[in-house]
Amino acid sequence: MGSSLTKIFSVSKMASSPDVQQFIKTAISQDKVVVFSKSYCPYCKLAKDVFNKVKQPIKVYELDHRDDGDVIQNNLQQITGFRTVPQVFINGNCVGGGSDVDKLYNSGKLQPMLIG
């Protein structure tokens, strides 16, 4: 997705779980929409495409392009209770994955979440 609305951050390394958890907390607090993704995942593409449709800028972390992607994914599981990607955060709150974002969009509930 070559959209200018998408910022992609990749390769980095973090030492410990507390560092990774702090990274996640900081990441989800800095941008309205944050997507922890894998570049080859169709559900991740679905989520990113939905935000592109509504012209919502998103920050994407492609975990398969990062040295610490597995560590981040394990820590996301501790935070959200699920390990699958994408993990989509709006205003710091996890709203689920690709199908969840698509359902929010189709039901008209997504756009109000993005206002403000």
pLDDT tens digits for 55-80? Answer: 999 999 999 999 999 999 999 999 99
> If you average pLDDT over residues 38-42, what whole number do you get?
98
Q: Indicate whether 43 pLDDT > 90.
A: yes
pLDDT at 17: 77
Tokens of 114: 């993005």
Options 3.40.30.10, 3.90.1150.10, 3.40.50.300, 3.90.870.10; which CATH number does 6-114 get? 3.40.30.10
Measured CA to CA in angstroms, residue 58 lies from 1, 9, 14, 39, 89 at distances of 12, 11, 23, 15, 10
Q: What do you get for the CA distance between the two ends of the chain, in Å?
A: 26
Residue scoring higher pLDDT (21 or 33): 33
pTM metric for this prediction: 0.86
* Domain definitions of the chain by residue range: 6-114
